[in-house]
Structure formats: structure tokens, C-alpha cells
Amino acid sequence: MTGSGRGKWYRLGTKPCLEDYPRLAIKDLKDMGIFEKPMSGALTWGDKQHPWLSVRFTSTLASLSISSRKLGLFEPQFIDIDKTHCNFGGYRMWFICPDCNKRCAFIYSMGHQFLCRACHGVGYRSQRMTSSQRRYSKLNKLEQRLFEKRGDIRVKPKGMHWRTFAELHKVYLQLSK
Ligand SMILES: [Zn+2]
């Protein structure tokens, strides 16, 4: 990724970023109910009709196994699931990272195995950006959220409340100063 600021070009680090890799969130899987009874199926990333990645999964009450030819995971990878009870009732679920055995809420695949972020040894993009890069990236994201393209003009996205739009637009103007 490259960007320009006042004619000066800078390059972000060449280290990969987690945002670039498939991620599994334990919360999403819990919400799908796949740890309530053993299940199998496919998890997909990207567009519903044209996902860019799908992996097969089988769950039990306390583990998940994943395989994906595309990721080079031909043999299923087994990931243990842990439960901790919350102070106010209910419970939280965690992946047990297959490498370091620590609890984690997310696991990422970099090429093949799903591991926690510490085991992959990479950071989030925002942590490696300078403040002006961060501002630029924030502005970009806001721009995508705020405007819908209709022909040559940009309009408020359908379904967004005017109040939300006005608030976000204020932030947008402040950032773009
Ligand atoms: Zn780990």
C-alpha cells in the first residue's frame, strides 16, 4: 500500500497485516450456534454468491476442525474451544490457539493454519501507521461509509438516517481539514 501526502510518497511496512487474512471470530461461531450441537458445514468469506474463500468445518461441543484445500489445509486442523463464566451470568467462549495454547477471541490463517495473532507475529495495520497515515485511512473508510456513488455524484447511502449522516459528515469535514 502506498499513499501520498504533499507530494511525498511513503511506503508502509512490507510486513503482512492481519486484515489481509481470513479471520475467525469465536463470537460469530457462537452466534451461529455451532457449539450447541455437533455440526458440519462451510464457513465463507466475502460475497454471499461469490465468496473468495470457503472452509469446511466440523464442530463438537468443545472443538472445531477446519479444512480448506484453498488454504493448503488438506488435513483438518483441530482447535479446542474453552468456556469461561462471566461475573454476571452467561459465559464467554474462546479458541485455544493450537500453537501457544492461550485463549483467544480471534484466529487468523496466514496461508494455512489458523493461529492467534501473537503466533503469527504480525500486527494490525493501524498500529504500524503514523498519525497522518491513520488519519488518511480513517478518512478513506468514512468516505466509503458516507457516500454512495450515483453516476458522477455522491449521495447519502440509502437506509442511513440523516442524523447519522450529519454526524459522520461533521467528523469527515474535521478530518479532511
Ligand atoms: Zn498462539
Mean pLDDT in residue range 103-110 = 92
CA of 105 to the centre of ligand 1 (A): 11
Q: Are 103 and 94 in contact (CB under 8 A)?
A: yes
Q: Provide the 3-class DSSP secondary structure of residue 175.
A: helix
What residues does each domain of the chain span? 18-120, 129-175
Q: Which three cell numbers stand for residue 166?
A: 450529519
How far, in Å, from the CA of 98 to the mean position of ligand 1?
Answer: 7
**Average pLDDT over every residue of 61-66:** 94
**Cα 132 to averaged position of ligand 1 atoms, centre (Å):** 31
Cell of 66: 477446519
Q: Please give the distance, rounded to the nearest whole angstrom, from the Cα atom of residue 71 to the centre of ligand 1.
A: 19
The per-residue pLDDT for 54 is 85
pLDDT band at 98 (very low <50, low <70, confident <90, very high): very high
Nearest-angstrom CA–CA distance, 111 and 139: 30
Task: Please report, rounded to a whole number, the percentage of residues in the chain having pLDDT higher than 90.
Answer: 30
Q: Are 40 and 57 in contact (CB under 8 A)?
A: yes
Taking the centre of ligand 1 as the mean of its atom positions, its distance from the CA of residue 110, in whole angstroms, is: 13
Q: Is the pLDDT of residue 13 over 60?
A: no
pLDDT per position as a tens digit, 111-158: 778 999 888 876 666 665 666 777 777 888 888 888 888 877 888 888
Task: Share the mean pLDDT of the chain.
Answer: 82
Look at the pTM and tell me if it is higher than 0.75: no
CA of 38 to the centre of ligand 1 (A): 25
Distance 84 CA to ligand 1 centre (A): 18
Report the pLDDT value the prediction gives residue 15, as an integer from 0 to 100.
59
Question: What is the pLDDT averaged over residues 71-89?
Answer: 90
Distance of CA 108 from the midpoint of ligand 1 (Å): 10
- Between the CA of 25 and the centroid of ligand 1 the distance, in Å, is 14
Q: According to the model, what pLDDT value does residue 4 have? A: 41
Give the containing element (helix H, strand E) for 143.
Answer: helix 131-146
- Dist CA 45 CA 21 (whole Å): 10
Q: How far apart are CA 109 and CA 53, in angstroms?
A: 11
Least confident of 11-15, 19-23, 28-32, 82-86: 11-15
Distance 21 CA to ligand 1 centre (A): 16
- Ligand 1 center to 172 CA (angstroms): 37
Give the distance between the most distant pair of CA atoms in the chain.
Answer: 57
77: CA distance to ligand 1 center in Å?
14
3-state secondary structure of 29: helix
Q: CA-CA distance, 79 to 153, in Å (whole number)?
A: 48
For residue 2, pLDDT over 50 is answered with: no
For residue 77, give Cα distances in angstroms to 40, 64, 102, 115: 14, 8, 16, 10
